[in-house]
Structure 1
């Protein structure tokens, strides 16, 4: 190994040893802060959706695809619907879920354990009925009141969907006595099959228009959609409902489906999450909600959703930030995981920097002391030889031998070039003592 390389490695070792304790403290603080803040989200998250071929299932697949780009696996958990989703959140079986307003009673603990990421879209109450039944019972093809369903066989969806609870409240408001309507609670697909086969007179959904069942029934001959003529009154009685109108021809302009405007009432669906869900996951869901639900639809104009209006639960700060503030600057230019890491750790990094900068001033003196100590420690031995010479405590021959040994040791000392003057000063002082000894 060349002398130059040896000197370089030795200087590097001295620098590492001098700055090592400070660097170790800094790294330890960062590791502790990382463990405590847990800035990066888990790689999997469970999203409770809904029945097969429902709008919830369709939106769940869109979220699954969107978060996969960020390396997050979204596990879709099918359910009977909104009420079942709320229960899955309470039980901890789902991290995030679609829940429809007014379809389930909130418990006191829900306000502490659940948060909302905002209202995503409206889900109209679709009451499809058979035209032949309407003619046979009322001699009309069009119905405009729930009271006209007395004596009918009506499927209101499975219990977990929340629609039975909603319809019970709406029928009660119309003074339709329990038992006046023959209620069944089949799931969507078997209920639709029975409805088309004439085994049911009406079928009720509360779903976004993206539902395949809704799309199909809107264009099925012999099937009509009940017109809620009092839809404004409904929304005054039930705050969780919104009056909406299905415009004429919006389903199919060419065939003019529907043939006239249809007034409907619609609860709003929100994206709910458990309080303990990782903040980065909430941010990803809230930001992607802006992309997936902000477009114009059958019942809303562009950018009306998502929003924080009418929420029954506290809005998570991640949802509020995504809806009401611009995208953070770091996320515009950096991958999400890196931007999130910096945003979550910036306070710790700032505090660490404020502490480490003053402490770093002790590194140069420590380095200087370590290098110079390799030279200065020999001055102690040189001083001992000089004292022995002055007091005559040893014969000159023995002292010269001791000086020769000290000089040999000094020649083996290696220091950086910037400290070479210290080494040469030691050698000169050895020669001075030698001359003084030879004169005696």
Structure 2
């Protein structure tokens, strides 16, 4: 091994030993901050959707595809509907869920455990009825009032959908007792089969127009959609309802479906999440909600959704930023996981840098001390030899032999070139003591 290479290794060793404790402290603090902040989200999240072929299921698949691009696996949890989704959130079986306003009673603990990611879309109350049933029971092919449903066989959806509770409130407002309407609680598919077979007079859905069932029934001959002439009054009586209008021809312009404007009442569906859900996941859902629900639809213009109106729970900080602030600069140029890591760690890293910079000033003096100590420790031995010479404790021959041994040790000392003067000074002082010894 060449002397130059050996000197380099020694200098590197001294530098590592000098700066090592500070580096270990910095790494330990970064690891502790990473553990405390937990910046990277889990790779799997559970989204409670709804029944098969529902709009909730369709939107769930869109979120699943969108988050898969960021490396997040979205597990879609089928449910009976809005009320069931709320229960799944409360029980911790779902992290995020679609919940329709007014279809479930909120509990006092919900405001502490759940947050809203914003209102996503409106879900009209679709009351489809058979024309022949209207002719037979109301003596007219059309009806325009819920009171005309007295004695009808009406399916209001499964219990977990929340629609039964909503219909009970609407019928009660129309002074209809529970027994005045023969209500059944079948799932959408079997209920639709019975409805088309004539075993039911009416069906009630509360769903976005993206629902395949809704779009099919809107274009089925002999099936009518109930018009709500009092939709403004319903919205005044029930704060969670909004008056909306299904424009003429919006379903099929060529076939002019519907043949005229249909007035409806609608509740607003929000995306709710558990407070404990990782903030990065909330950010991803909120940002993708802007893309998936920001377009125009049958009942809204572009960029009307998502919004914070009609929210029955506090809006999360992540959703508020997604709605009111542009996409963070880092996310425009970096993968989401890296941008999220930097955004969540930069403040901590800045604090650590502010702490470590003053402490780093200890490293140069410590390095200097370690290098010089390799030279200075031999001065102690040189002083002993000089004291023995002055007191006469040892014979001159023994002292000369000790000086030769000391000089041989000094020649083996390796120091960086910047400290070579210290080594040459030691050798010069050994020579001076030898000259002094030879004069005696």
Q: Fold conserved (TM > 0.5)?
A: yes
For 2:317 and 2:369, locate their aligned partners in 1 and report how far apart those are by CA, in whole Å: 52
Where does residue 37 of structure 1 map in the other structure? Answer: 37
**Residue 220, structure 1, aligned to residue 195, structure 2:** no
Q: CA deviation at 1:282?
A: 0.7
Aligned twin of 2:350: 350
Please, which moves more after superposition, 302-311 or 321-330? 321-330
1:311 aligns with 311
Map of 2:164 onto structure 1: 164
Counterparts of 1:222-371 in structure 2, within 5 Å, are 222-371=222-371
Residue by residue over 1:330-377, the C-alpha shift from the partner in whole angstroms, topping out at 9 and shown as x without a partner, is 212221111111221222111111111111111000000000100010
1:121-136 to structure 2, matched below 5 A, reads 121-136=121-136
Q: Give the drift of 1:139.
A: 2.7
Tell me if 1:187 matches 2:191: no
Give the structure 2 partner of residue 23 of structure 1: 23
Q: Which residue of 2 aligns with 1:55?
A: 55
1:424 is the counterpart of 2:413:
no
Rounded to whole Å, the distance in 2 between the matches of 1:4 and 1:193 is 90
Offset of 1:408 from its aligned partner? Answer: 0.8
Q: For residues 433 and 20 of structure 2, what CA distance do their matches in structure 1 show?
A: 39
Separation of aligned partners in 1, 2:3 and 2:223: 95
Q: Post-superposition shift, 1:151? A: 1.1
SS state of the match for residue 298, structure 2?
coil
Give distance in 1, aligned partners of 2:234 and 2:360: 69
Tell me the alpha carbon deviations over residues 256-280 of structure 1, each in whole angstroms, 9 at most, x when there is no partner. Answer: 1111110000000000011111111
Partner of 1:374: 374
SS at match of 1:164: helix
Equivalent-residue separation in structure 2 for 1:2 and 1:131 (angstroms): 102
- The DSSP-based 3-state class of the residue aligned with 1:227 is coil
Q: CA deviation at 1:433?
A: 1.0
Matching of residue 109 in structure 1 with residue 109 in structure 2: yes
Deviation, structure 1 residue 8: 1.1
Q: Deviations over 1:301-328 (max 9, x none)?
A: 0000000011101111111111111111
SS in 2 for 1:315: coil
Alignment of 1:95-106 (within 5 A): 95-106=95-106
Distance in structure 2 (CA, Å) of the matches to 1:184 and 1:315: 36
* Distance in 1 (alpha carbons) for counterparts of 2:355 and 2:431: 47
1:391 shift after superposition: 1.6
Does residue 175 of the first structure (1) align with residue 189 of the second (2)? no
Unpaired runs of 5+ residues, structure 2, are: none
Q: C-alpha displacement at 1:137, in angstroms?
A: 1.9
1:18-40 per-position Cα deviation (integer Å, ceiling 9, x unaligned): 01111111111111111111111
Please provide the CA RMSD for this pair. 0.8
Query: For 1:7 and 1:134, how far apart are their aligned partners in 2?
Result: 101
CA distance in 2, matches of 1:261, 1:5: 89
Kindly indicate whether residue 69 of structure 2 is the aligned counterpart of residue 76 of structure 1: no
Shift of 1:143: 1.8
- The CA deviation at 1:70 is 1.1
Where does residue 8 of structure 2 map in the other structure? 8
SS state at 2:371 partner: helix
SS at match of 2:268: strand
1:140 is displaced (CA, Å) by 2.1
CA distance in 1, matches of 2:246, 2:342: 46
Unaligned runs of 5+ in 1: none
Residue 138 of structure 1: CA displacement?
Answer: 2.0
1:126-172, Cα deviation, whole Å (9 max, x unpaired): 00011111122223222211111111110000000000000000011
TM-score (norm 1): 0.99
User: How far apart, CA to CA, are the structure 2 residues paired with 1:143 and 1:390?
Assistant: 127
Residue 406 of structure 1 is matched in structure 2 by 406
SS in 1 for 2:51: coil
Task: Tell me what 2:397 maps to.
Answer: 397
Instruction: Give the match's secondary structure for 2:39.
Output: coil
DSSP 3-state at the match of 1:427: helix
**Cα displacement (A) at 1:176:** 1.4
CA distance in 1, matches of 2:94, 2:186: 24
Which stretches of structure 1, 4 residues or more, deviate above 6 A after TM superposition? none
> Could you say which residue in structure 2 is the equivalent of 1:153?
153
